[in-house]
Chain A
Amino acid sequence: MAIARDGTGATKILWEAVGNGGQVITFTTTASRHLVVSGESNSPAVTVADSGSGSWTVKSRIMGVGTGVSRVFVAYREGAAAVTTVTVTLSGGTNYGGAKLDQFTGVKTSGSFESETTADGTTASATFGSGNHTTTDPNALVIGAASGDDTSTAAWTTTLGSWTELAQDGNATTSLPWQTIYQIAVGSTGPYSLTWNYPPMNGSYAGVSLLVSFASAVVTPVATYANTPRDDELIALGSVLGPYSWVKPQSWF
């Protein structure tokens, strides 16, 4: 089964000046899904847990240029049983940011994480690149997250191309704008990249980008025979798979 997004997930949550502690999302997920929470906060650390006591892993990147106040993150749980709540726990004082919970099918249920690619923009530049991210699996799921800082309420204007937006907050409510996206690879390891675009970027800061990929559960089929194939079966197989060469073992004659 190829990777697919299951519905549109929970609605994104937004927080401003909420302090430490848990941001609890109540939303019932479907069993056997790869759960992803992506978003941004100025929290020094982000952890994620759920009502099913599942194990979550958080990949994150803190802004590397300026004072480093913004942290983008992609948290995931593999092959999760259905859960009713997901809690994003923040730290370090009063927090600004947001997150979105989504679920995917067809992702490997263990050891799905492949790699991450991080990048920083330059000060006051509205556009910044994600860097090139090459997947291991040509049918992988790639999730991206980016953030910046501003004094505006404008929206992100990233040209998505083959990417699909999961969520964005253009600082209508928070001081740290963010955008998250995804793409499902179709027979190619990439490299995958994009140019984030947030026009009102604050002059004191630079954008920060994170791309993360997860392997699909698809297993490449291997032809096996319970019995010795007949010549007509081999010919039929050849017509499907294309030109081939075949040497019959001596024992078949």
Chain B
Amino acid sequence: MTVLLTIPRAVRGPLTVSIPSTSVPAGLTQVMLTVNRFAWPVGSRVLTLALELSFDGGSTWPMKYASALDGGKIDNKGNPDAPSRIGFGLNSPSDSQTRVRGQIVLAVSLDCSATVDAT
């Protein structure tokens, strides 16, 4: 796994964190955005994650995946602080023109960190 970008743990928000356009190393097939939550207050759409993919060096961004999360939910293993992850499995391995960018929207003040990685 190659970590492309890290946003260190801090209490932030409400705010929007932009994940800048970042090159994906060639030959990889998956790009993921992970947000590790150290608190998870109840609420509607506490966190919204979005990732975009470019296959032409950033000229166009034809693929986007956005996911809105309600706070207070626990995962199916009973862990409220499990990291939330969204991402893409590429139809063909990345090349020198593959780039990723994204956005994290915090609707409330939240203790969290984030990484973007590729495998």
Tell me the complex Cα distance, A45–B82, Å. Answer: 22
How many pairs of A and B residues are in contact by the CB < 8 Å rule?
Answer: 102
Q: In the complex, what's the smallest C-beta–C-beta distance from A181 to chain B, in angstroms? A: 15
B82-110: which residues lie under 8 A (CB-CB) from chain A? 82-92
In the complex, which of the residues A14, A25, A27, A167 contacts B32, with contact meaning CB atoms closer than 8 Å?
A: A14
Residues of B within 8 A of A94 (CB): 73-76, 82
Mask, B25-49, CB within 8 Å of A = 1, is 0000010100000000000010001
Known contacts A14-B89, A94-B82, A98-B89; A26 and B73 CB within 8 A of each other? no
Q: In the complex, what's the smallest C-beta–C-beta distance from B58 to chain A, in angstroms? A: 16
Tell me the complex Cα distance, A24–B49, Å. Answer: 10
Whether A195 sits at the interface, judged by CB under 8 Å, is: no
The answer to whether A15 touches B86, judged by C-beta atoms less than 8 angstroms apart, is: yes
Whether A31 sits at the interface, judged by CB under 8 Å, is: no
Whether B68 sits at the interface, judged by CB under 8 Å, is: yes
Residues of B within 8 A of A169 (CB): 89
Known contacts A22-B67, A26-B63, A42-B76; A17 and B83 CB within 8 A of each other? yes
The answer to whether B119 touches A172, judged by C-beta atoms less than 8 angstroms apart, is: yes
Tell me the complex Cα distance, A38–B84, Å. Answer: 22
Residues of B within 8 A of A175 (CB): 76-77
Mask, B49-79, CB within 8 Å of A = 1, is 1001100000000111111111001111100
In the complex, which of the residues B63, B82, B83 contacts A27, with contact meaning CB atoms closer than 8 Å?
A: B63
Residues of B within 8 A of A190 (CB): none
Tell me the complex Cα distance, A15–B32, Å. Answer: 9
Interface of B is mostly: strand
The answer to whether B91 touches A9, judged by C-beta atoms less than 8 angstroms apart, is: yes
The interface on chain B, measured as residues whose beta carbon lies within 8 A of the other chain's beta carbons, has a size of: 32
Tell me the complex Cα distance, A22–B82, Å. Answer: 19
Tell me the complex Cα distance, A169–B75, Å. Answer: 19
Known contacts A18-B67, A24-B67, A42-B76; A11 and B90 CB within 8 A of each other? yes
Q: In the complex, what's the smallest C-beta–C-beta distance from A84 to chain B, in angstroms? A: 10
The answer to whether A18 touches B86, judged by C-beta atoms less than 8 angstroms apart, is: yes
In the complex, which of the residues A12, A24, A69, A167 contacts B66, with contact meaning CB atoms closer than 8 Å?
A: A24
Tell me the complex Cα distance, A69–B70, Å. Answer: 20
Known contacts A69-B76, A94-B74, A175-B76; A13 and B65 CB within 8 A of each other? yes
Tell me the complex Cα distance, A19–B74, Å. Answer: 8
Whether A21 sits at the interface, judged by CB under 8 Å, is: yes
Whether A93 sits at the interface, judged by CB under 8 Å, is: yes
Whether A51 sits at the interface, judged by CB under 8 Å, is: no
Residue from B32, B49, B85 whose CB has the most chain A CB atoms within 10 Å: B85
Between-chain CB contacts (< 8 Å), 20 pairs: A10-B63, A11-B89, A11-B90, A11-B91, A13-B87, A14-B88, A16-B82, A17-B83, A18-B69, A18-B84, A19-B73, A21-B67, A21-B69, A23-B67, A23-B86, A26-B65, A69-B76, A93-B76, A173-B30, A175-B76
B-side interface residues toward A, CB under 8 Å? 30, 32, 45, 49, 52-53, 62-70, 73-77, 82-92, 119
15 new A-B contacts, CB < 8 A, other than A16-B82, A22-B66, A23-B65, are A8-B91, A10-B63, A11-B53, A11-B88, A14-B86, A15-B67, A17-B82, A17-B84, A18-B49, A20-B70, A25-B64, A27-B62, A93-B73, A93-B74, A94-B76
- 4 residue pairs, one from A and one from B, having the closest CB atoms: A26-B64, A12-B89, A16-B85, A94-B75
